[in-house]
Structure 1
Amino acid sequence: MFKFLYFSLLLLGGINVLFSQTIRIDKNLQGRKQIESIILQEKSFGKDTVRLKSYLAPLLKSSDKKLHVVYYNLLATGISKAWDRVNISSDRYYKLSIETAKALHHPGLEIWALVNYGFYLYNYTKIAAALPVYMDADAKINKTDPSQMIFPSLCYKNLGFFFGTIGDRAEAVTYLKKAEQFAGSGYGDLAAIQDNIAFYLIGNSQFAEAEKYLSEAAHNALKIKDNERYAKILGNYGNLSFKKKNYSAAIDYYLKDIQYSRLAKAEKNTMFAQIQLSRALIMNNDIPQARSNLAEAAKYARSKAYYMSFEKDIQELNLQIALKENNVPQELAARRRLSQLDDSLAHLDSQSNLDQSNLLAQKERYTSKLSLANAKYENEQLKTTAFIIIAAILLILIMLIIFINKKQQKNRKIQYEKNVLKLQLDKLSSEQKLSDTHFTLEAMNTYLSEKNLQIERLNKEITRVHKQSDYSALEKQQQKLQRLLDSHLMTDENWLRFKRAFQKEQPDFYNQLIHNFPDLTESNIRIIILLKLGLINQEIASLLGITPEAVKKSKQRLRKKIGSEYDAIFYEI
């Protein structure tokens, strides 16, 4: 009886210690080191937010307001993990953390708070909402000494991940390379950083440098026995092989990726690897195995609402298989599900939204850089004035000439950038109007008319720029106008949308055309349909990126192919 009471008291004491356990504030540490030591004590309490608040309570009771920033941020993170989704409470505490850091005029702490809030939104695929948060962090981090930052590696890394997600791979690599420099402190995960640098380098077709980073990442992941990270590295080796069109090697890497992901119980990465594997298997004509992997990946993709974009990838591959096998029922099922997913994803961050986010990010960053340039210019003005007072007349004249020359160069650059931005926004506006409609033939006709006007304006602007040596040098160096002109060409995606709209509104004509002339190529059909809209040779040439002479030759080949019925077809058109 005595022993039973003794052990009961011990058990109760242990439970009391467990539930009364709180985060420790090391008084021997000061400033950044103290804050980082506290953050490293972060724990997960599952869905028990009461224990979470109790654990973090000493931070809120502290008279040091900087620890209040940490309290609100860690509490917001813990609640988001408990709910496993974006929620009002987490949003409120993250914002309170940022506002408190801002009021303290502590940029390092504010950047850390912003990055964590941005990552929370990014993690739950709220990319559009994360954009202004990350842009705020981006503006502040470039003006802050890393020695003043909280976990600089983590901050740089998360910014790199975000910019990669919205399509700015060059900026992603820049930030991740900065993160690599500080990977030895705090949360610095060297293998993860190097792996992601390689991922974005692969996207930019910088294969040799990507392989170097993958090799270093694999070495570091194996050194710390991080199976999940090693699995992701193997997946990137697969991506590298896939991009080189070595599908057999890609399949081997993806299979190893799945093996290590399962070993690490990383379900999300297993699903992602199965999708990548299926894509390679389809290219290698191993359809049964691809179908099996897609079915398994779909189970996990449907388990969480914010994985809808992964299910869309799966259904697109299922559609690809159905078309390859000419399996009409499977094709219809895949198209039906894709339509449902498109409707659902319209309210989330679809690829089109990511593209818009990327453009908006570039615009905001340009505005920020312009403001910085203006501030720098004003500072230089003051220095120049002070120098003029103590300088000789000759030196004053020299400095004045240099100043005027620089100012003219700067103004030319600003004007050039403004012209490019205006043309970019015109293009985005047309694409947005098309996206907001239901891709009717009328909408496409309006879109193509606007696009032709924009192409004409672009060509005039390029001609004007080339006639002025200073602007010509800018365009030769940056080629922004030429790249924008190239982006106006009709893409395969836009052509398919346009073709579907045409088939929907002109089914009899289209079906009769295909039935009577089965030998027509996709290029022939494209010319016929564009002529249907009344586009002239020059307009068709601008849209397709070819010369008017090439359009004429295409029409001549059409006449030869169709023969005597050529005029009848265009009479019907």
Structure 2
Amino acid sequence: MLRFFIILFFITIIPGRAVFGMDLMDSNSSAEEKNFYETIIRESQKYQTSSSALSTYLTPYFNQAIRKNDNALLAIYYCLLADQSFDSEGGRNSFSDKYYLKALDLEKDYNYQNVKAWVKVMYGFYLYRCLKASEALPLLLEGEKGLEDISKDLVLDLTHTYKKLGYFFGTLGDYRTGIKYLELGQQQEGISPKLKAEILDNLGLLTLKSGGDTAQAMKNFEIAQNLALSEKDSLRYAKTLGNQARIYEGMKDYQKALSLLDKDLEISKSLGNNKNTIFALMMRIRLCISMGANREVRQMIKETEYLLEGADDKKTILELEGHKLNLAIQNGDLKQELNARRRIEQLQDSLRFLDGDPVLSQLKFMADKQKYADKLSLAQALIKKKRAETRLWVILSLFVLVLSFFIYNAFRYRSRKRMREYEYQLLNLKYTKAELDKELMSSKSQLEEYMVYLKRNNEQIDLLSSMLDEMGETSAKDRDELKTLLQSHLITDEKWQEFKLLLAKEFPNLLQDIQAKFPDITESNLRVIVLMKMGLNNREVANVLGVTPDAIKKSMQRLKKKLGGQAGILMEYISDKELV
């Protein structure tokens, strides 16, 4: 029966463990390991401008990773090398690809979920920077999903990780998710003012693009601007000016917007930053078209085309060709219009395979679809878990109920069996008592037979006493019956008188001789002396008299003290078992 319940218990509990996800395959690094990895990542930023300097810095950690078989550290090492190779070469190259693929390939060789999520975000963001958003999407979605199961204090390089996710989802047009991650990134303690300015600037831009609170967007730009000034970050300061111009453009305050853009252009050109210069020029072209200043537009288009020579920024070139098409239509220049249309068609075809608006829109749809599928999967898993919990509790309740039923019946069976055994023993004892009384009645003329009777009586008294001790307080009725039977075996005053008559018949002068030799003894002392002389020990005398052995011992001690010098004679008399 016990084996059956153990098997049933495991049948119910083990599936429950599987349902509740108690055996997770992946864990996270310890807080100490996370801090160690993060220190390497943070310190490596100091060597981003030189591949040899970074390699020198990372080599001891590479050796440590090989020596200790720390594949998580090795994956971090390859990611840092890949990122530096991309920055130093100004774009994607064979080394950056090779290092990132090595980092990704190591995923199966370690179980740190927080490192895996970081590697996927790093590689996904790298592909995004290479204008491969469609390839980046699955990696960044996996990284985002992995982060959901990690507590914030164990997320690796948290601020930069959230920043990358914010930029990516913002580019896809998923502004709400982008804003969420940028908000989380800028809220972290210990973030540098320069990084905070960058995040706040982009946070304001996403707020503006999402049609959110313009005042909040302007506030973010202003805070970012002040931080950039304090850090002497001229490029970030220029970008905040351009982003503020967007707000004034939306308010149709074109003069204010142009004023800010002029400052942006001046700083960007002085820094030699073509990318930001092109961004400011494109916005200025858009403003001048809105104002009808077409002469300025032609000059700025030429300047922008010059800066875009050799560049692969097809999206900006497409926008520029759109402006050229509008100017050609306004001027009735059919040749220029035809050239612009042909160029636009070519660029649109090309952008279908890169990160043009149609591709990004499609990727946003795919991301939304994937997130919905994940939420649906999670909801279904929760429903299954709830059902499994309910089923488990029902089974456990039934298990406890059935177990209680069997325990109760087993207890009842044992109690009944014990009661039957007591009843049988009680009947047997009564029968034995009746037999002893019968034997005694038929042999009253023989004192030796009475002594045998006393010996067997003692055995019965011992048995009844042990039964009373075993029974405890379970059955008052049975205890009373046993006590009554026990009492019937004792030498009462009536039985003592009968015994004295038997002694007087067999040995007429015995009792008188004892009282003559020891005149100070009482009737109680006489009983004890006679029973001891007949061969009963202290315990047996105590049994038949219904007292404890200690009581008999103390009674004899008091008698010896009372007799004084005659005590020794008394003990010799008792030791002599001859009654004559």
- Which string of whole-angstrom CA distances, capped at 9 and with x for unpartnered residues, describes residues 153-178 of structure 1? 11111111111111111111111111
1:255 aligned partner, one-letter code: D
1:331 corresponds, among 327, 337, 357, to 337
Residue of structure 2 in register with 1:347 after alignment: 353
Residue of structure 2 in register with 1:274 after alignment: 281
2:211 corresponds to 1:205: yes
Which contiguous aligned blocks of 4+ residues in structure 1 show a shift greater than 6 angstroms?
A: 44-48, 389-392
Relative to structure 1, is the Cα distance of residues 279 and 46 closer, same or farther in structure 2, using a 3 angstrom cutoff? Answer: same
Residue of structure 1 in register with 2:377 after alignment: 371
- Segment of structure 1 superposing worse, 170-179 or 62-71: 62-71
Q: Percent identity?
A: 30
1:283 Cα deviation from its structure 2 partner = 0.5
Contact conserved, 1:274 with 1:293, CA < 8 A, in 2? yes
2:268 corresponds to 1:261: yes
Residue of structure 1 in register with 2:556 after alignment: none
Contact conserved, 2:269 with 2:277, CA < 8 A, in 1? yes
1:101 and 1:325 mapped to 2: Cα distance? 60
1:42 Cα deviation from its structure 2 partner = 2.4
Residue of structure 2 in register with 1:98 after alignment: 104
Residue of structure 2 in register with 1:166 after alignment: 172
Residue of structure 2 in register with 1:227 after alignment: 234
Relative to structure 1, is the Cα distance of residues 46 and 331 closer, same or farther in structure 2, using a 3 angstrom cutoff? Answer: farther
1:87 and 1:184 mapped to 2: Cα distance? 34
2:258 and 2:395 mapped to 1: Cα distance? 72
Secondary structure of the 1:245 match is coil
Relative to structure 1, is the Cα distance of residues 186 and 225 closer, same or farther in structure 2, using a 3 angstrom cutoff? Answer: closer
> TM-score normalized by structure 2?
0.58
Contact conserved, 1:36 with 1:150, CA < 8 A, in 2? yes
Once the two structures are superposed, the pairs formed by residues 307-456 of structure 1 within 5 Å of their partners are: 307-385=313-391
1:139 Cα deviation from its structure 2 partner = 1.1
Residue of structure 2 in register with 1:136 after alignment: 142
1:32 aligned partner, one-letter code: K
Relative to structure 1, is the Cα distance of residues 249 and 325 closer, same or farther in structure 2, using a 3 angstrom cutoff? Answer: farther
2:49 and 2:147 mapped to 1: Cα distance? 33
Contact conserved, 2:352 with 2:358, CA < 8 A, in 1? no
> TM-score normalized by structure 1?
0.59
Once the two structures are superposed, the pairs formed by residues 382-531 of structure 1 within 5 Å of their partners are: 382-385=388-391
2:170 and 2:120 mapped to 1: Cα distance? 18
Relative to structure 1, is the Cα distance of residues 187 and 105 closer, same or farther in structure 2, using a 3 angstrom cutoff? Answer: farther
- Segment of structure 1 superposing worse, 291-300 or 116-125: 291-300
Residue of structure 2 in register with 1:182 after alignment: 188
2:286 corresponds to 1:284: no
2:244 corresponds, among 196, 214, 237, to 237
Secondary structure of the 1:42 match is helix
Once the two structures are superposed, the pairs formed by residues 531-570 of structure 1 within 5 Å of their partners are: none
Secondary structure of the 1:302 match is coil
Relative to structure 1, is the Cα distance of residues 384 and 260 closer, same or farther in structure 2, using a 3 angstrom cutoff? Answer: farther
1:328 Cα deviation from its structure 2 partner = 2.9
1:114 Cα deviation from its structure 2 partner = 1.4
Relative to structure 1, is the Cα distance of residues 212 and 301 closer, same or farther in structure 2, using a 3 angstrom cutoff? Answer: same
1:56 aligned partner, one-letter code: L
Relative to structure 1, is the Cα distance of residues 258 and 144 closer, same or farther in structure 2, using a 3 angstrom cutoff? Answer: same
2:284 aligned partner, one-letter code: L
Relative to structure 1, is the Cα distance of residues 36 and 87 closer, same or farther in structure 2, using a 3 angstrom cutoff? Answer: same
- Which string of whole-angstrom CA distances, capped at 9 and with x for unpartnered residues, describes residues 518-562 of structure 1? xxxxxxxxxxxxxxxxxxxxxxxxxxxxxxxxxxxxxxxxxxxxx
2:157 and 2:225 mapped to 1: Cα distance? 23
Contact conserved, 1:191 with 1:229, CA < 8 A, in 2? yes
1:183 Cα deviation from its structure 2 partner = 6.0
- Which string of whole-angstrom CA distances, capped at 9 and with x for unpartnered residues, describes residues 311-330 of structure 1? 11111112222223333333
Residue of structure 1 in register with 2:61 after alignment: 59
- Segment of structure 1 superposing worse, 243-252 or 82-91: 82-91
Residue of structure 1 in register with 2:155 after alignment: 149
1:301 and 1:339 mapped to 2: Cα distance? 19
- Segment of structure 1 superposing worse, 212-221 or 83-92: 83-92
2:79 and 2:390 mapped to 1: Cα distance? 46
Point out the structure with max Rg over C-alpha.
Answer: 2
1:387 Cα deviation from its structure 2 partner = 5.8
2:113 and 2:160 mapped to 1: Cα distance? 15
2:255 corresponds to 1:248: yes
1:329 and 1:113 mapped to 2: Cα distance? 51
Contact conserved, 2:163 with 2:181, CA < 8 A, in 1? yes
Relative to structure 1, is the Cα distance of residues 102 and 149 closer, same or farther in structure 2, using a 3 angstrom cutoff? Answer: farther
Contact conserved, 2:254 with 2:287, CA < 8 A, in 1? yes
1:158 and 1:282 mapped to 2: Cα distance? 34
Relative to structure 1, is the Cα distance of residues 35 and 48 closer, same or farther in structure 2, using a 3 angstrom cutoff? Answer: closer
1:51 and 1:105 mapped to 2: Cα distance? 30
CA-atom RMSD, angstroms? 2.7
- Which string of whole-angstrom CA distances, capped at 9 and with x for unpartnered residues, describes residues 359-406 of structure 1? 1111111111111222222333344446667999xxxxxxxxxxxxxx
1:39 aligned partner, one-letter code: I
Relative to structure 1, is the Cα distance of residues 129 and 121 closer, same or farther in structure 2, using a 3 angstrom cutoff? Answer: same
Residue of structure 1 in register with 2:122 after alignment: 116
Residue of structure 1 in register with 2:44 after alignment: 42
- Which string of whole-angstrom CA distances, capped at 9 and with x for unpartnered residues, describes residues 420-472 of structure 1? xxxxxxxxxxxxxxxxxxxxxxxxxxxxxxxxxxxxxxxxxxxxxxxxxxxxx
Contact conserved, 1:228 with 1:260, CA < 8 A, in 2? yes
1:328 and 1:300 mapped to 2: Cα distance? 26
Contact conserved, 1:59 with 1:70, CA < 8 A, in 2? no
Contact conserved, 1:191 with 1:217, CA < 8 A, in 2? yes
Matched residues, number: 363
2:181 and 2:157 mapped to 1: Cα distance? 14
1:34 aligned partner, one-letter code: F
1:212 aligned partner, one-letter code: K
Contact conserved, 2:173 with 2:364, CA < 8 A, in 1? yes
Contact conserved, 1:151 with 1:185, CA < 8 A, in 2? no
Secondary structure of the 1:335 match is helix
Contact conserved, 2:170 with 2:177, CA < 8 A, in 1? yes
1:32 corresponds, among 28, 34, 52, to 34
1:301 aligned partner, one-letter code: L
Relative to structure 1, is the Cα distance of residues 209 and 144 closer, same or farther in structure 2, using a 3 angstrom cutoff? Answer: same
Relative to structure 1, is the Cα distance of residues 362 and 83 closer, same or farther in structure 2, using a 3 angstrom cutoff? Answer: same
Contact conserved, 1:153 with 1:188, CA < 8 A, in 2? no
* Runs of 5+ consecutive residues of structure 1 not aligned to the other structure: 1-28, 393-573
1:256 aligned partner, one-letter code: K
Relative to structure 1, is the Cα distance of residues 204 and 250 closer, same or farther in structure 2, using a 3 angstrom cutoff? Answer: same
- Segment of structure 1 superposing worse, 85-94 or 248-257: 85-94
1:129 aligned partner, one-letter code: E
1:280 Cα deviation from its structure 2 partner = 0.7
Kindly indicate whether structure 1 or structure 2 has the higher relative contact order, using CA contacts under 8 Å at least 6 residues apart: 2
Residue of structure 1 in register with 2:301 after alignment: 294
